[in-house]
Amino acid sequence: MNRLIREFFATLLHAARNLLPIVVVVGVFQFGVLRQMPDGLGAMIIGLGIVVLGVALFLQGLEMGVFPIARNLSDEFTAKGSLPWLMIFGFCIGFSAVIAEPALIAVAEQAELISEGRIDPVTLRVLVASSVGAVVAIGVLRIILGLPLHWMMIGGYIVVVLVTFFAPEEIVGLAYDSGGVTTNIVTVPLIAALGLGLAAAIRGRNPLIDGFGLVALAVMVPMITVQLYGVVVFTLADPESAAAGAEVIATLEDQAETVVPGTATALLADLGRMVLDVLPIILVVLVFQYLVIRKRIPHLPMVTFGFVLVIVGLYAFVVGLKLGLFPIGENMAEQLMAHGSLFWLYLFAFLIGFATTMAEPALIAIGDKAEEASAGRIRSNAIRLVVALGVATGITIGVHRIITGDSIHLYIIGGYCIVILLTFLAPRYIIALAYDLGGVTTSEVTVPLITALGIGLATNIEGRSVMIDGFGLIAFASIFPIVSVMLYAILADLLARTRGATT
């Protein structure tokens, strides 16, 4: 018990350090550039404290509950030598992790509005969840057979680029955003643990090369699914009509509300909804553990307590964000546009992208697992810095696109062409991890703040459409970390060879 308490306080301190960049960025811009005292400063400070506590509880819960149960199931299925059951388990985990995802529900509802009812939100959610489930099952097969990931990713993103070329402009941003929201704070560690567990259990597999990649596949395929569905059902409706525009903006404003529950009953109700979001995953684990493997869960009290910590930590994290950061973040775009200096707007986009990425709990968890899988060859802190720089660059470019009004097609197609080229050049050990890190960056911290920034800019710039220009920043936050991580590995290899040649 004493060991667990010490580990928790170490995690708490780690979480506080990770959140510090967001506090610094917001503080510098609020007091140094805009020179305004933010409303509710006391609530913001309390919210930040709740965020730190939530992240610490969440990470502790992952280590106690999610990672052990995923490794145990992977070991049991591998020992049984049952490929069909492994693939079925992969499908069910992928489907259950996505179908109840609140961000996907929001994206589906927005797609319904944009298409004037042509896109059915339930159908879209089932398609996305099914595609994630199917691709996780295929990813499990890839690990078992030892197939190289880079060919799957190159082929997949060639399809993404081709589909994007033909997809209606109104659906592209939402399609890429839907790929980002499928990898949330619970899904990423669970799917990553499944892949790493399989790679560790199968002789001849390298956890770094073979264990990562499931998250990347779960991000890529929904982009294709949503765009294809949009191509099929979308009609030549006027997306900028006053009625449709007002309806969409009203919906987005409702979704962006940052009301924190004020009563014990409301708090319990919101916590209950959080449990319902995680419940499909828990049911899948229980069904496969007791009805398929037919063994008890090892260290059940510890695992159960770990899942409870994950749920409570996630809830505290979200409440803390609403209380502490969202009210500030939602107004920054409007304030900076009113300030009249594009330099400060670009700088804010870069710095807030960097800061939110450094605070992502899922990135922290995956960074630690990458360091463990590489036996220290890859440093968690270094890879997080590289990823954060990639996200910051991507968001800055995405903000520039909104300001200039350029077509998102050109940027997305160009970005993924660079990714495909770098996949041929990058060392094999980094490819799976690089693609996974592109999905990890679009989680609970980054998505709300970046989405609010994009919608705020599109709303406050004359001639921009919230539907066409307000979405898509998440896509930029997914593409450029892949680029930065691969470039980092290429440069590291070149430097290593150069040093070797001179000694």
DSSP string covering 46-93, please?
HHHHHHHHHHHHHHHHIIIIIHHHHHHHHHHHHHHT-HHHHHHHHHHH
Q: How many angstroms separate the CA atoms of 313 and 62, rounded?
A: 10
Residue 488 counted as domain residue: yes
Q: For residue 491, give every residue at least 6 positions away whose Cβ sits within 8 Å of its Cβ, in sequence order, or none.
A: none
Q: Give how far the C-alpha of residue 191 lies from the chain's centroid of Cα atoms, to the nearest Å.
A: 12
Residue 200 counted as domain residue: yes
| Overall number of domains in the chain | 1
| 4: nearest Cα among 300, 362, 302 | 302
Walk along the chain (503 residues) and give the pLDDT tens digit of each residue: 677 777 778 778 877 776 777 778 877 877 777 777 666 677 777 877 887 888 788 778 877 877 787 677 767 776 776 778 888 888 988 888 777 666 676 667 666 766 667 778 888 888 888 988 898 899 888 888 888 888 888 888 888 888 888 877 767 777 776 666 666 666 677 777 778 878 877 777 887 888 888 888 887 888 888 888 878 876 544 444 334 443 443 444 444 444 455 556 766 776 777 777 677 778 888 888 888 888 888 888 888 888 888 888 878 877 776 676 656 655 666 677 677 778 888 888 898 888 878 877 778 778 888 888 777 778 888 888 999 999 999 999 988 988 888 887 788 888 888 988 998 898 888 888 888 888 777 665 666 667 767 777 777 777 776 666 766 777 788 889 999 999 998 998 888 888 777 76
Residue 78 counted as domain residue: yes
The pTM for the full model equals: 0.71
Q: How many angstroms separate the CA atoms of 217 and 152, rounded?
A: 9
120: domain range?
66-259+270-294+330-492
Residue 310 counted as domain residue: no
Residue 322 counted as domain residue: no
Residue 448 counted as domain residue: yes
Q: Which two tokens stand for residue 62?
A: 């992952």
Please say whether the beta carbons of 476 and 395 come within 8 A.
yes
C-alpha pair distances (Å), 300 with each of 295, 306, 398, 457: 11, 10, 46, 49
Residue 22 counted as domain residue: no
Residue 302 counted as domain residue: no
Q: How many angstroms separate the CA atoms of 27 and 70, rounded?
A: 40
How wide is the angle at C-alpha 68 spanned by C-alphas 64 and 71, nearest 5°?
Answer: 165
| 72: nearest Cα among 274, 288, 257 | 288
Please report the DSSP string for 433-494 in residue order.
Answer: HHHHHHHHTSSTTHHHHHHHHHHHHHHHSTT--HHHHSS-HHHHHHHHHHHHHHHHHHHHHH
